[in-house]
Amino acid sequence: MAVPESRKYRGLYSEDFALWCEEQARALRDRRWEAVEVAHLAGELDEMSGQARRELGSHLEVLLSHLLKRMFQPEKASKSWADSIEEQALRTVEQVVEIPSLRSQWNTVLVRSYRYARLQAARETTLEREVFPAALTDELQAQLRSELLQAEDALALSPRKRGVSRVL
């Protein structure tokens, strides 16, 4: 007896995730709704959205930690720090341009990222954590805005896609 199409690939989600994804995509394209595992698919889509936020947070964390280090130890500023600041600013802008809905979550991601950036800067400079402001300062936000503006310029964004730096 043949296995019904709707159950043919059940169980793949936990056994072979890549194959499950391919089958789900094929089922959607072919409009085989009975083969779509709605609960798992919805969960994966939610996870993808969360991943985008985490990726943006990661870029901001590195960017902010280097800005803090440059602010509190300017004598130790290096080409490596400058390169990292530039790269993370570019990646931040690109991420928000590719996923515009991240703008609505910017402040939440920024505050969370700053907490980790502060810890990272303290660890990497051997300065006490308390040396770094507990919250984002106007000065640090201005530096961040400046770096993001430079990234927008470097990416030659159209006026419609600009504005990541104005989210601050």
Tokens 């409009």 sit on residue? 31
Q: Is residue 101 part of a domain?
A: yes
The residue segments making up the domain with residue 91 are: 51-167
pLDDT on residue 163: 67
Q: Is residue 34 part of a domain?
A: no
Q: Is residue 117 part of a domain?
A: yes
Residue 121 exposed, middle or buried by CB count within 10 Å (0-12, 13-18, 19+)? buried
Domain count of the fold of the chain: 1
pLDDT on residue 125: 94
Instruction: For residue range 63-108, list pLDDT tens digits in order.
Output: 999 999 999 999 999 999 999 999 999 999 999 998 989 999 999 9
Amino acid sitting at position 36: V
Q: Is residue 24 part of a domain?
A: no
Contact 35, 27 (CB under 8 A): yes
pLDDT on residue 157: 75
Give 11 or 26, the one with higher predicted confidence: 26
pLDDT on residue 105: 92
Q: Is residue 40 part of a domain?
A: no
Q: Is residue 146 part of a domain?
A: yes
Annotate 72-81 with b (16+ C-beta within 10 A) or e (fewer).
ebeeeeeeeb
